[in-house]
Structure 1
Amino acid sequence: MRPIKIYLDSSDFSKLSDLSKQSPEYAQVRDYLVRQRNEGVINMYFSEVHVLEAAPISPSAIPAAIGRLRTIKELCGKNCVTHPIDVCRNELSEENSLDSVSVVRSDGTWIPSSFDVSEIVPNVEQIIMAELENLSRAARRKYSKSGKPTSHAYTELTQLYNGDIAELAKKLPLSIDAARVFERYMLGKASRNDALKAVQDSVTDLVIFGHWHEREWSAASDLLKHVRKSGENFKSTLLEARRQFDHLITPDSGLGSTLKKSLPSPSQVTKKVMDARIGKIATEVAHSMGIVPRSMIDPWQVAPGTSCSIRLAIQVGHRSVLHSPPRAPSHSDFPDIYQAIYLPYVDIFRADRFMASQLSECNLPFSTAIAENFLQLPLKIREVLEAR
């Protein structure tokens, strides 16, 4: 039987990282989840959103952040979900087959595909061979053999660029073992593939990532900025969706025009009109990402995750802006909307009480169970098992 896929909320990891501050039920549910995972009943998944929200915002917050990151690793292992912007790109691009959209994974790769380790780790062999082009034939024979750099060439290159290599190593969250592999690679004693794998494994190890902040706060902050920047286009379009939701009411929709204060809620808008708006916004997202979008006649079928985020953005926009009484927008709204992209791909989705209620009002065409409280998870797991 396929394990139940559970997507947890960032607050779950935060609370579980310090059980002394929680009621005894939290430890009991945590132990239950671990048992169910070990028995193959469930798998828990983390995402880039969890990592960013767990990461420290200042040097003094590093110890608590490491605790949160360690909790994520202990519960999820390497079970994670593809970066949101990559999910969005894969869903929307007409170049991709719908069958090729892969979201859940077991390799721990939470970073976006735009963060390419191979572009960071220098190709030492290419550097050496390029340098040899400027030397005489006799000199080239000293530094290359059978078209490959000699150990003497690697040694001299390492000595020449020793400072640069040290700086590069600081910019990567390397474990002690990975640093050794990296050093051996720079000396020509390990392959480039070995070096890339060592760096990739270190980058995706959340505990190593947390401790990296202790050693290199500036470099770690730079990496987080790069990851956050990856979602900016998606973010700006979703925020626009919040402002645009009143345009759902068009002259030809059959609903007529109304004053802004008396506009119907999104749940009262016909499915046809809502789907058309979701499809239009999804197309705008694709254009903002520089990709040719696939047909959005049925956005729920071709782009379920993206459609889910857009639908929730519209719902929260109505509730936060025009609902009476209005709800003040929260800084956590965007991360919650952003990660709703995973809801169609899991069996149980954790959200806070407000977002859970908004997701319920969205009438989403998915069977995913929504848990508004961490302590509800055992019940939700039993319900999913009974429904199979």
Structure 2
Amino acid sequence: MRPIRIHLDTSDYSAMHDAPMGSPVAKIREKLTELAQSGRIEIGLSYHVVFELLQRADPEHRGNRLSRARLLSELCGRNAFPYPTDLGDGHRFSKEGLWQPRITLDDHEVEVIVGHFIQGVQQDPEATAHAQRIVTRRKYLRRWAEEYPERFADLADRNWPVMFGRSLAKDGTFGRYVAGTISRDEANRKLWFFINDPESIYELWFEQCNWDCPIMERRDNIAGKFVTMLGELRGTLARTKDLRARITAELNAAGDEALSADGRSQLLRLRRDLKTFREEISSPQQLCKDVPIWKKLFGDESALLAAEVLFAFERDKRPIKDSDGIDFVHVMYLPHADLWRGDRAFSDLLKRHKVSFGERVVPTLLELPARVEAEL
């Protein structure tokens, strides 16, 4: 039996990090850590959880952010859910800690690094003519890395082309890859660690690159698109309702305004067609067919769930908040987790409208240990 796979909400990590020793939430952290380390559960990192939890902070709060990062590593280890839109390409739960978008990983693949390194040496004013000749042919470079590993390490360190992973040049890992003594997969695992490890990504993203948190803009974009889609759906439903009301009024007309037999037959047929149309546009399955981009982005299971969530908002008649954009992203992992934690109000929405996989939703963090035990 495989381990129980769990998605936690960002608020869960925050609560466990800040919980006083001996409190119920602190005991949950201890229990989950024990179960994770024993291999009985797998808690997955995800892009949005990492950046929500590790937001930019003033220098005096650096220790807090790194402590949060260590909590993520403690609970999740090398387990991760893929970037949401990579689900559509068939990527699933990773045991190698890969939560960054695949396009980011591809842009920092070891062969890409080799190419940039070669360009760097060719443009390096301090590189010897011999070194610049060696990098023009891969077989020469490979032989040199094999025969003179220390000299290659010095050259790689001086011309390391990215802002992370320089230690791979210094410790000889990069040279061993170029020399052919470690595989491309192994080299990528070591390289990608630096952009998937929570503590490393905090230092790289916020401190070295001084970038803003990417979540806010993405959250607002998703929420905006969701509002647009919901508005279009509500507009279509309202128009069909108005048309149906006009048809009914025509059918109920009497006296001089009464319809002919042929006219009445046509309107009855139109009303039946309108009913069928309304049923179709109120169907998550039909919406998935009409909006194939969802399947392309999120895969079959998550695309259907996305449509169900849209209709849940329509039936609930509540306005969409910016935070719903992040919750919508989190719920894309529901089909790929055995137990799923999310925002309380959003979880209630899922349960109330009986979306697919809704039985996997755990309403509160305090309920999680019992649910885990029931699954084991």
User: Which one-letter code corresponds to 1:109 in the other structure?
Assistant: L
Task: Provide Cα deviations, 1:305-340, integer angstroms capped at 9, x if missing partner.
Answer: 122233224434664xxx3xx55x433211101121
Aligned to 2:52: 53
Matches within 5 A, 1:272-351: 273-280=282-289, 282-285=291-294, 303-316=300-313, 319=316, 323=317, 326=318, 329-351=320-342
Poorly superposed stretches of 4+, deviation over 6 Å: 128-131, 138-146, 152-161, 186-192, 227-235, 250-253
Task: Provide Cα deviations, 1:234-259, integer angstroms capped at 9, x if missing partner.
Answer: 66643432323315638789x9469x
Aligned to 1:67: 67
Instruction: Give me the TM-score of the superposition, normalised by structure 1.
Output: 0.68
Task: Confirm or deny: 8 A CA contact 1:62 1:210 kept in the other structure.
Answer: no
CA gap 1:247/1:182 in 2 versus in 1, 3 angstroms: farther
Segments of 5+ residues of structure 1 without an aligned counterpart are 91-100, 132-137, 259-268, 290-298
**Is 1:363 matched with 2:354?**
yes
CA gap 1:241/1:257 in 2 versus in 1, 3 angstroms: farther
Aligned to 1:16: 16
- Report the CA distance between 1:52 and its aligned residue: 1.5
- Report the CA distance between 1:196 and its aligned residue: 3.9
- Report the CA distance between 1:197 and its aligned residue: 3.8
Aligned alpha-carbon RMSD (Å): 4.4
Task: Provide Cα deviations, 1:26-50, integer angstroms capped at 9, x if missing partner.
Answer: 0111122222233433221121111
Segments of 5+ residues of structure 2 without an aligned counterpart are 124-129, 247-277
Distance 2:369 2:134 in 1: 68
- Report the CA distance between 1:277 and its aligned residue: 5.0
Residue 93 of structure 2: which of 65, 87, 104 is its match?
Answer: 104
- Report the CA distance between 1:70 and its aligned residue: 1.4
Matches within 5 A, 1:1-388: 1-20=1-20, 24-60=23-59, 61-87=61-87, 89-90=88-89, 101-115=90-104, 116=106, 117-118=108-109, 121-123=113-115, 127=119, 147-149=139-141, 151=144, 162=158, 165=159, 168-169=161-162, 171-172=163-164, 174=165, 177-178=167-168, 180-181=170-171, 185=175, 193=184, 196-213=188-205, 215-218=207-210, 221=211, 225=214, 237-247=225-235, 249=237, 256=244, 273-280=282-289, 282-285=291-294, 303-316=300-313, 319=316, 323=317, 326=318, 329-366=320-357, 368-385=359-376
Distance 2:68 2:280 in 1: 41
Task: Provide Cα deviations, 1:193-230, integer angstroms capped at 9, x if missing partner.
Answer: 46544321222111222233575142xx27x64x8888
CA gap 1:179/1:204 in 2 versus in 1, 3 angstroms: farther
| Between 22-31 and 77-86, the greater mean CA deviation after superposition | 22-31
Aligned to 1:294: none
Greater helix proportion: 2
- Report the CA distance between 1:184 and its aligned residue: 5.6
Aligned to 2:260: none
